Structure 1
Amino acid sequence: MDFSRVKQAMELKSQLDKIQKELAKVIVEAEKGPVKVTANGQQKVLSITIAPDALKPEKAKQLEDNVLKVVNDALEKAKKASSKEMAGMMGGMNISGLS
């Protein structure tokens, strides 16, 4: 058994756990019209806020379109923030076979 590989795998798992905890703290927001979405670096939507005046039946289609766009924008921002955070944290690791 190659203990150096086991140790390396354990260090990698520890680092990945740390990254996941840090990503949960990264908060991004996206907004369009009366819709605001907040997500974290784990690409989880934390909240959706809709201005009360947008809750009129005649504005339903526009509201649906805005919600869809803003959720996708927030998740894209979360993805970029996550990639940036992971690159920064993993940059110092020298893992053979992964670089």
Structure 2
Amino acid sequence: MGGFNLNEMMAAAKQHAEELQKKMAQTVIEATAGGGSVTVKMNGQKQLLSIKIDPEVVKSGDVEMLQDLVTAAVNEGSRRVDQAMQSNLSGMMGGMGLPGF
């Protein structure tokens, strides 16, 4: 009789978690704000890899606007990392045959 084996399920969950961490570490997300005035790249661990700022934004001298654009781009990048994580997690959990995934 094929019973429920908690140890096997836990081992599979651990393996899937390790795979997810590796995949997210290799993931690079790009996000923009201000119509492309500020672009950020962030990895799947939410580490900021780069920021590009259009020189025209700097020329305006509006520091508050630039700060807002950088904040918006970083927040968008973080949101996209969360989406990628959720998408990957759902795919992996679905493969485990768990209800609700």
The equivalent residue for 1:19 is 20
Deviation at 1:8, TM superposition (A): 2.4
Instruction: Please give the alpha-carbon distance, in whole angstroms, between the structure 1 residues aligned to 2:61 and 2:52.
Output: 19
Instruction: Please give the alpha-carbon distance, in whole angstroms, between the structure 2 residues aligned to 1:41 and 1:85.
Output: 11
5+ residue gaps, structure 1, are: none
The alignment partner of 1:84 has SS state of: helix
Please show how residues 1-40 of structure 1 align to structure 2 within 5 Å.
4-33=5-34, 34-40=37-43
Deviation at 1:40, TM superposition (A): 2.5
Percent identity reads 32
Please show how residues 52-71 of structure 1 align to structure 2 within 5 Å.
52-56=55-59, 58-71=61-74
When structure 1 is superposed on structure 2, of 67-76 and 21-30 the one drifting more is 21-30
Instruction: Give the TM-score of the pair, scaled to structure 1.
Output: 0.77
Tell me which amino acid in the other structure corresponds to 1:30.
A
Where has structure 1 moved over 4 Å in runs of 4 or more? none
What number of residue pairs does the alignment pair up?
A: 95
User: What is the alpha-carbon root mean square deviation over aligned residues?
Assistant: 2.4
Instruction: Please give the alpha-carbon distance, in whole angstroms, between the structure 1 residues aligned to 2:54 and 2:44.
Output: 25
Deviation at 1:94, TM superposition (A): 3.1
Q: 1:84 to 1:46 in 2, by over 3 A?
A: same
Instruction: Give the TM-score of the pair, scaled to structure 2.
Output: 0.76
The alignment partner of 1:30 has SS state of: strand
| Contact 1:45 1:75 survives alignment (8 Å) | no
The alignment partner of 1:55 has SS state of: helix
5+ residue gaps, structure 2, are: none
Tell me which amino acid in the other structure corresponds to 1:16.
A
Q: Does 1:50 align with 2:53?
A: yes
| Contact 1:31 1:70 survives alignment (8 Å) | yes
